[in-house]
Amino acid sequence: MTHVVIVGAGIYGAGTALALRDAGVDVTVVEARTPGHAWAGSGGLSRVLRYEYGRDLLYVRLAALARDAWRALEARLGVTLYHETGILTLAASASSWERESFDALVAAGYHPEPLSAAEVTRRWPVISADGIGFAAYHAIGGFIAARRATEAIAATAESAGARFVRGAAVAGVVVEHGRAQGVQLASGERIAADAVVLAPGAWAAATLFNCTGKLGKGQDRDLELTGHGFERARDFGRLLDEVVGRASVGRIDELEVVDDDETEVFL
């Protein structure tokens, strides 16, 4: 049976674990703390689910699929995770992103409700009418109970047979012959796998690369990032730019491929 190691038990990691177990895959999830912990990107009380994405109908379709998926998951788990409160959008101008969102929803067959500033204050007295140039209410949309959802999905994946290793930090991915072969924990222990899924959130910089030095904010240094099989420098740089940016350690000033197995990054 294929064995997959997932790094991180946030909403992505826990959700992937559940999907893989449903597909009959052997899964191990390694989490430095606990699913939905206070520092996690999936922690916190709530996350918005909305259909308002400007002109982009792709995101409207994705939001609709997500809403259906949350409803199906709630039925499976027997808990309420998605609360459909509706979405109120306000803008200073009628020619705005909010207006584009309204028009896109109408074009997609939905029925958002245009509102005057006076109607907004009547229905939501806490809101002042001053400065409102456009307003609309869409009954579809609301919020996800973020931490509760993450905890519930992780618990369901574990009940389905996924193994969770809690309180274990991943030092890096074990790469041999250009392929991930597992992960190495900070303790020195290695967990072998046929594939590795990285879902560490804000800890990506610490888990994605085996660095010879520490990433430090405001520090200029040469870091050698090795053994991850990126074939082209621009692909490597694009990923680094995202990871380093998320970690708030500065920007990449220079990227140089030293050889097939080693890349130098100047921060």
**261 and 130 co-located in one domain:** no
**29 and 153 co-located in one domain:** yes
**92 and 17 co-located in one domain:** no
Number of independent structural domains in the chain? 3
**240 and 256 co-located in one domain:** yes
Token look-up 């009628």 returns 94
Q: Residue 2, CB half-sphere, CA atoms under 13 Å: how many?
A: 10
**64 and 25 co-located in one domain:** no
**153 and 38 co-located in one domain:** yes
CA gyration radius, the chain: 23
Choose one of 180, 206, 232: the last residue of a domain: 206
Choose one of 206, 232, 248: the last residue of a domain: 206
CA dist list (Å): 246 to 41, 212, 243 = 12, 20, 5
Question: At 89, which CATH number?
Answer: 3.30.9.10
Choose one of 187, 206, 225: the last residue of a domain: 206
Q: What is the pLDDT along the chain (267 residues), one digit of tens a residue?
A: 899 999 999 999 999 999 999 999 999 999 999 998 888 888 889 999 999 999 999 999 999 999 999 999 999 999 999 999 999 999 999 888 999 999 999 999 999 999 999 999 999 999 999 999 999 999 999 999 999 999 999 999 999 999 999 999 998 889 888 888 999 999 999 999 999 999 998 877 666 654 333 333 443 333 344 433 334 444 545 555 544 444 433 344 444 444 444 444 433
**154 and 180 co-located in one domain:** yes
CA dist list (Å): 228 to 180, 182, 202, 258 = 8, 13, 19, 13
**87 and 200 co-located in one domain:** no
Give the per-residue pLDDT at 179: 87
Q: By three-state DSSP, how is residue 158 classified?
A: helix
Q: What is this structure's pTM?
A: 0.75
**Contact present, 239 and 230 (Cβ < 8 Å):** yes
**77 and 113 co-located in one domain:** yes
As a whole number of angstroms, the distance between CA 33 and CA 52 comes to 34
DSSP characters over 34-77: -TT-TTSTT-SSEEEE---BTB-HHHHHHHHHHHHHHHHHHHHH
**132 and 113 co-located in one domain:** yes
Question: At 165, which CATH number?
Answer: 3.50.50.60
**159 and 179 co-located in one domain:** yes
Give the per-residue pLDDT at 209: 57
**Contact present, 172 and 184 (Cβ < 8 Å):** yes
**57 and 135 co-located in one domain:** yes
According to DSSP, the β-strands at 170-176 and 179-185 are antiparallel
Question: Which residues span the domain enclosing 38?
Answer: 3-43+148-206
Query: Which ranges of the chain would DSSP assign to H, the alpha helix?
Result: 11-22, 57-77, 97-107, 117-123, 146-159, 204-208, 233-247
